[in-house]
Amino acid sequence: MRKLLFNLAGKKLGNWNVIKRDNNDKHRNIKWLCKCKCGKIYSVRSEQLRNGDSTQCRSCSNKIKGGWKTHGLTKSKLFKTWCGIVQRCENKNNEFYPRYGGRGIKICTLWRHDFKSFYDYAIANGWKEGLTIDRIDNDGNYEPGNIRFVPMKIQCRNRSSNIWITIKGETKILADWARINNIKYGTIHFRYKQGWRGENLIAPTKTIIRP
């Protein structure tokens, strides 16, 4: 039997309450007996629980998906976008959760339980191939009035992780200062981490006066 690196017994993962360790499957994958909020008990693979691929039983999933399932939208890019939003906002095991759900950012109740409503809103408000979802207020929720669809380059400027620098009264993100001054981003980021500021941050290497 494999050594247990993660003991999930007693944990609540999504709508699953993990009861106890179950027998491994034929491929020796670790499994756990889990009770869904509806009361049904299933055996679920450890990796599915840990990475958020399984958060409830199939019956409960189908109830939530009922609004879009008959429309054949599960393979659409907007459906993948919607799933990503739900994971970032609700799944504590998701790598991006600290920047979204961990900061209190949510997806509105209507969209959370009715993908078709989210889909219709996106289509009516400018979504098309090549655009990505962006929150207008970076501290606000995914809800009507606070999302837009923009090229990835614009979305990157709205990230809370961006570093904003003011030089000679002009404010830009660090990546833009690097591009405008033809400096590798790695170089200017290293300078920033070392405490360099002002014109030294964007100066050509040969003209730098070290702080």
Residue pLDDT, tens place only, 38-96? 999 999 998 888 766 788 888 877 665 544 455 567 888 899 899 999 999 999 888 78
Q: Domain extents for the chain? A: 12-56, 66-156, 164-207
One-character DSSP codes across 98-151: GGTGGGT--B-HHHHH-HHHHHHHHHHTT--TT-EEEESSTTS-BSTTSEEEE-
Q: What is the pLDDT of residue 68?
A: 46
Q: What is the pLDDT of residue 149?
A: 85
Q: Which of 96, 1, 87 is nearest to 46 (CA)?
A: 1
Q: What is the pLDDT of residue 65?
A: 53
Q: Which of 184, 156, 34, 159 is nearest to 103 (CA)?
A: 159
Task: In whole angstroms, give the CA distance from residue 119 to residue 180.
Answer: 38
Q: What is the pLDDT of residue 145?
A: 87
**What pLDDT digit, counting tens, does each position of 111-168 carry?**
888 888 899 999 998 898 888 888 888 788 999 888 888 775 555 555 556 677 787 7
One-character DSSP codes across 4-69: -SS--TT-EETTEEEEEEE---TT---EEEEEETTS-EEEEEHHHHHTTS-SS-HHHHHHHHHHHH
Q: What is the pLDDT of residue 70?
A: 52
Q: pTM above 0.85?
A: no
Q: What is the pLDDT of residue 107?
A: 93
Q: What is the pLDDT of residue 122?
A: 92
Task: In whole angstroms, give the CA distance from residue 58 to residue 64.
Answer: 10
pLDDT(173) > 80: no
pLDDT band at 183; cut points 50, 70, 90: confident
Q: Among 1-5, 107-111, 169-173, which stretch is predicted with the lowest mean pLDDT? A: 1-5
